[in-house]
Amino acid sequence: MAAAEPHAHAATWQLLAAAGAADTTPGPRSSHAVVFVAPSFVYLIAGELSPRVPVDDQGAVWRLDLAQDAASAKWERVPTSGAAPPPSIAPTVVAVGTRLYLFGGRTAVDMQQGVLGDVYRLDTTTHTWSLAWSRAAASSGGGGAAADCPAPRSYHAAASLGGKFFVFGGCGPSGRLNDLWAFDPQAASWERMPDPPRASVPPRGGAALAALPAQKRLVVVGGFDGDKERSDAHSFDVDARAWCLDSGGGCASCAGEAPTLPARSVLGVAEHTGCAQSEGGAAAGAGCSHSSHVVAFGGECDPSATRSHDAAGRFLSDAWCGDGQKGAWHPLKTAGDGGPGPRGWFASCAVPGGMLLHGGLDASNARLSDCWRLHLGH
């Protein structure tokens, strides 16, 4: 099949936060997390510098203010207090209002070892850490509590939607997973969502999860199933509590269409909230046919030939836009500051008008420290 042509809809890369002294930036790392908190802050937490060894900075939090222009934007380390999470690699961090929730991660090299399963909360108004939910405490409560919460895991995917956050898949003590859970911060409790069809949504690590609030949908993209990188995308209707609800839509893989997104894992995704400025100078998002689509960037397309996911494989630096309901993808034209190079295991999050990413791993097995913002527009 001939390669797809880039869509006329364009995107622009902007390099942010020039490198500074070692103690004034988070530095190179991979398998970490970034998350946006309104009105303008991006927070960075956790990660690794050496393979599968957590950066030794328990509770450390870095912050970048997107209200600053690109030339002057700088990372700052934010002092925190309280019960901080242990250093870890590959946790997820999501924002619910002004609070961040960190779940999972691991502290050891092997997939089955050192996996974590607690939920920590960071109040960004006071920068105070606290333990929001403890697996040990839930299990000691009896009544089969352990079955009512997700297994510890790393390299899972998470997203915030409707005042809750959702966790999908990842690498647990018994292997790769394909379950979906919702955590309610108000009740401090988990709820298991219906499992997807295993035949069409195999267990995986390194997938990405995008939230589409207007559609009240979550979209799982890509991942590594233990054998190969995945190219599939699957949507979950939160209100209907159903995967790929409509036979004629939902997602391409369930509708029987071949997805056009090249296979990848450890990638970045974000909701396409609409062009920052649509043609004719209309308001943000107005008239943009790509609103509530999913933007995907980069990731690993081939694992290491000798060490699978224990070493760097072959990485991508392409950007794609896909319909989160029908699963049709097209590549994006990108312009600007040259754009980030090929990478995987980076941190990314949705920001107003696009996506932000930091660091990651390149094909030479080097950790990266650059920070980029993708602006969506014509």
Beta bridge partners of 37: 41
Query: In which order are the strands placed within the sheet that holds 208-212?
Result: 208-212, 217-221, 233-237, 242-243
Q: For residue 139, what is the DSSP state? A: H
User: Are 269 and 296 spatial neighbours (Cβ–Cβ below 8 Å)?
Assistant: yes
Nearest to 300 by CA among 246, 331, 344: 344
Sorted by where each starts, the structural domains of the chain and their CATH numbers stand as: 7-377 (2.120.10.80)
Q: How far apart are the first and last CA of the chain?
A: 28
User: Are 222 and 265 spatial neighbours (Cβ–Cβ below 8 Å)?
Assistant: yes
Maximum alpha-carbon separation in the chain: 61
* CA–CA separation, 125 and 134 (whole Å): 23
Tokens coding 314:
């072959």
* CA–CA separation, 266 and 229 (whole Å): 10
pLDDT in tens, the chain (378 residues): 445 555 556 789 999 976 555 567 898 999 999 999 999 999 999 999 888 788 877 778 999 999 988 878 889 999 999 999 999 999 999 999 999 999 999 987 666 678 999 999 999 999 999 999 999 888 776 544 556 899 999 999 999 999 999 999 999 999 999 999 999 999 999 999 999 989 889 999 999 999 999 989 999 999 999 999 999 999 999 999 999 744 444 455 565 555 689 999 999 999 988 775 433 334 555 567 787 889 999 999 998 655 555 566 799 999 999 886 676 888 988 887 789 999 999 999 999 999 999 999 998 889 999 999 999 875
User: Are 165 and 158 spatial neighbours (Cβ–Cβ below 8 Å)?
Assistant: yes
Say what the pTM is: 0.91
User: Are 120 and 133 spatial neighbours (Cβ–Cβ below 8 Å)?
Assistant: no
